[in-house]
Homo-oligomer: A and B are copies of this chain.
Amino acid sequence: MSGHILALSGGVGGAKLAAGLADVLAPGRLTVAVNTGDDFEHLGLTICPDIDSVLYAMAGLNDRQRGWGMADETWHMMERLRALDEEDWFNLGDRDLATHIARTWRLRAGQPLSDVTARMARALGIEQAVVPMSDDAVRTQVLTPDGWSDFQRWFVGEQCGPAVSDIRFAGTPGAAMSAGLSAALDRKDIAAIVICPSNPFLSVDPLLAVDGVRDALLARRVPCIAVSPLIGGKALKGPLSKLLAERGLSGGNLDIAAHYGPLVDHLVIDRGDAEDAPRLREGGHAVTLAETLMKSAGDQARLARDVLAAAAL
């Protein structure tokens, strides 16, 4: 087993697989390129939800019950924010705040998001590369009956309520790959590309919209393995199933495969969805059945090993 792995990740589910890959690969063998389309400014703080989810999961600091943010979190700042009659639709944990404050401070001082992220990863003892997809601002927006809405407003503020008829990634085309993502794609020893079990439309598509990423994936000489975010035909968390339904799609792994098309060689799907395998294979995809539910670090590592095996690594 040798060579470098590039993982493309969104938030929670993707972050768990990224953490699993980090556990089973020797230090320095993994680059996790993270979606920044969900990033936003809130109360003057620059918040990067997916980078945070990846950092927290890789550092073992993530809250597994809640599914986002840090474990052992408290909410005293939020209590006081409400007492001050300020906006409280986005929850900011007390521990989590340190990340937002430090990041915002460094970004304002002119440091690129890549440097800020690398510094945080180092401080948290993470021995693999974690890089934003781009140092340029990309902002995912959804079209609802009320018009275009910033992602977090819809996702958190409106709890994914309004139907989404279109998605765009403001800032693309034009957003350049981060140096770390570009370097990983260019590595001579790259051995596989992994698309983590994140929302294809909202978490992976922004990554693919960054200048050059889709082309680089299409021109790949190594296997690209996607791990499906569906279990029993449903997304564990988040609005994926709703989005699929709103597009008139059945919501199965065939839709995921169709969405990625020629970008993906191999799909890792949940053992419970084995019935999808024959048609996926007919469509030209290799398929691996695995336990894709990750409740523990052990689950994460086990799925990571299955993914590496799927890449014949």
Contact = CB atoms under 8 A, between A and B. Distances in A.
What bracket does the count of chain A residues touching chain B fall in?
20 to 34
A124 B76 contact: no
Interface string A112-145: 0000000110011000000000000000000000
B124 A98 contact: no
A106 to B, nearest CB: 9
10 contacts: A43-B101, A43-B102, A44-B108, A45-B101, A74-B76, A76-B76, A83-B123, A86-B102, A86-B105, A94-B94
Contact of A84 (B74, B86, B123): B123
Most B Cβ at <10 Å: residue of A44, A73, A108? A44
B97 A97 contact: yes
Interface string A156-193: 00000000000000000000000000000000000000
A77 B94 contact: yes
Nearest to A72: B76
Given A43-B102, A44-B108, A95 B124 contact: no
A81 interface: yes
Contacts of A79: 95, 98
Interface string A54-84: 0000000000000000100110111111011
A199 interface: no
A99 interface: yes
A275 interface: no
Contacts of A85: 119, 123
Given A43-B102, A43-B105, A74 B86 contact: no
B98 A84 contact: yes
Contacts of A102: 43, 81, 84, 86
